[in-house]
Chain A
Amino acid sequence: MLVSPSDRQACDSDLTIKQMDTKILIAVENLSRYYGQHLAVDAISFDLAQGEVLGFLGPNGAGKSTAMRMISGNLAPSGGRIAINGIDLLDRARLAKAQIGYLPEQPPVYPDLTVNEYLSYCARLHRVSKAQRGPAQTRAVQRCGLEGVGRRLIGNLSKGYQQRVGIAQAILHNPAVVILDEPTVGLDPNQIRDIRRLIRELGETHGIILSTHILPEVQATCTRVQIIHHGQLVFAESMGALEQRLTGNAVVLETVEPLDISVLQQLGNVGAVESLGARRARLRFNGDNPAAEVAACVSAQRWGLVELALERQTLEQVFVELTCRENNAAVAAA
């Protein structure tokens, strides 16, 4: 379940890019937020188009939740602009908020209400018309797998179910933008898979912002990734571009007999060859993967092939590199 389904993902993101029209659902410009003297979010800007699932990553305290609370209208920004579906969130808050579904870190559920009572209250709060209320509620209940618990008190449900009630509340009024702050916390693996499927499904017609600590989750659900660190956006790329970046341009070779680097350097496409010990080397390449030629060369030289693998960076490595490098830079600056 935690395996990153990279092939399907690549295919998914291609698909969504094709479907994507240029309708911008969220436009954030120079968004900043101070808590007293502490700058929690530092002038971040980004757009979110319909059909995109944007993954918001960052270490604890990086400013993810603050940014999401601002975009959902729960917190006033210290500076910058937010437009939801072209409507300014600060000037015309009520109209803009009607387009948003928001699940905060803690699901905002009333323990004293039953699931049905709660959802019907949420529908009223979001001005869902009387005729639409029933069908909207049924759809949300189905999508979040809440059939059978409708008459139970939310306070008596498990954390996972409460989380799903929170998600149901966020998608109930069919908002253009859905903002989910760590939606899979507290769910079991099956539920996580269901919720991820739901997010991908919603992502086809809505714009979704998702924050999470779980990196495979981003690879499984998102079409774009942003990493926020010390309040700043340090990384923002589409999933396709990220996949390419992660694939890398090096192969690692290991043999039984000692290697002769000068021979390897003669091969087509192979650039620099880095020795990793007598029997191991990293071959950087330009263009196509030279693995076939390398293998042929190894067998011709009778070195005895042990390993020949495409070097693949993980999102985790990118994450660590970006967030730790920043730390080191900050330390160096201080």
Chain B
Amino acid sequence: MSTFDNPFDPDRNLRAGCVCGQHRSAAEHEQATALHCEPVANEEKRYEGVVASTLMRAMFPQDVARRAFLKSVGASTALAALSQFFPLKTATEVFAQAGAPEKKDLKVGFIPITCATPIIMAAPMGFYAKHGLNVEVVKTAGWAVIRDKTINKEYDAAHMLAPMPIAISLGLGANAIPFAVPAIENINGQGIVLATKHKDKRDPKDWKGLKFAIPFDYSMHNYLLRYYLAEHGLDPDTDVQLRSVPPPEMVANLRADNIDGFLAPDNICQRAIYDGVGFMHLLSKEIWDGHPCCSFAASRDFITSAPNSFAALTRAIVDATAYASKAENRKQIAEAIAPANYINAPVTVLEQVLTGTYADGLGGVKTDPKRVDFDPFPWQSFAVWMLTQMKRWGQIKGDVDYKAVAEQVYLATDTKKLMTEMGLSPPASAYKSFAVMGKTFDPAKPEDYVASFKIKKAS
């Protein structure tokens, strides 16, 4: 499924069709369940497509006429004829050059985990440079530090857990400072790892009294683990112990028997297996396929003071994310991000995470190409879901205006515009319904959703 519109395809309707414009009909759009924005191999081609589409639309205001014209002369002749009197190449070049960035030398913070793949790889693989930026990616010690350094403007933008920008904007655990998310980094790519001694304790109902580690309070990891435990009848606040532990210390703590397991970002899960201290109980994908994990975030301040830099940065990230979403590129990416300057982990471990062919820690080799995946679109329904969980577990007290917060923090509209300009096909709506462990979430009714859970923190 390529998102590149071929305006010279006589069977394609440039106006009607599906909402995203990728498919010939709405029905076909429905069928395509995967919501991927795969890029066209060649950037120039993509822009050319956008320009050509516009041109064709201008030439043939009547879609029927355009189709008839294309059918009679053929696409290549039409293209050649058009290029004769319209400088398609020049127009494309002009179009691709957006406003010059106000600030070229930027600093972007990241935490060394595979969730940050697009942010990291964009440096060694030249995605930032391609969009006219000189970005230094700086490794950071922990989530609280990355938050403080971004708030203090030491970083222009940063890798954050998807709920963090919401929490910062709401002033949970920090002063309220408006933050925004132009792109999601990765979807899936986390896992529940248990110590090897628990290999016969696969039923969560037997987990009473165990100690689990999560990377941060405002993390998808926290919400997913709580959700998973609660669905199995355990109250995460009273039946088990949940501790915030920095990811690198999780493996050491698991080895030292201080914790029984964790829901952690990869490469930490695979690292525990690689070092022979744990096994993969469950991929986070099995809890919610397509869940967001980390985000690319910046303060509103930066966005308003340097809008072109921000747009170029977002374009670079979207570009890198699109590149990373292709399975055939994953090995190359693993090698690019493994050195000490970036993630600093054995290439084998990163390869297992990114390619999805991995040792499960129990002697088996499993394959799941979607173990981790990359999709930049910041669905506002993701933000609404996170808010429902913040409310459910008492992180937010009182009433929440779910929609307003989601729309303020998750910049679906801007990213959509940007992606369209880049020739990608973002989804038409910023809300989608999805299922978490078989239970459907309707973003239009967040209050009912929160109320529907039996296990939650009494407010």
Q: Are A and B bound to each other?
A: no
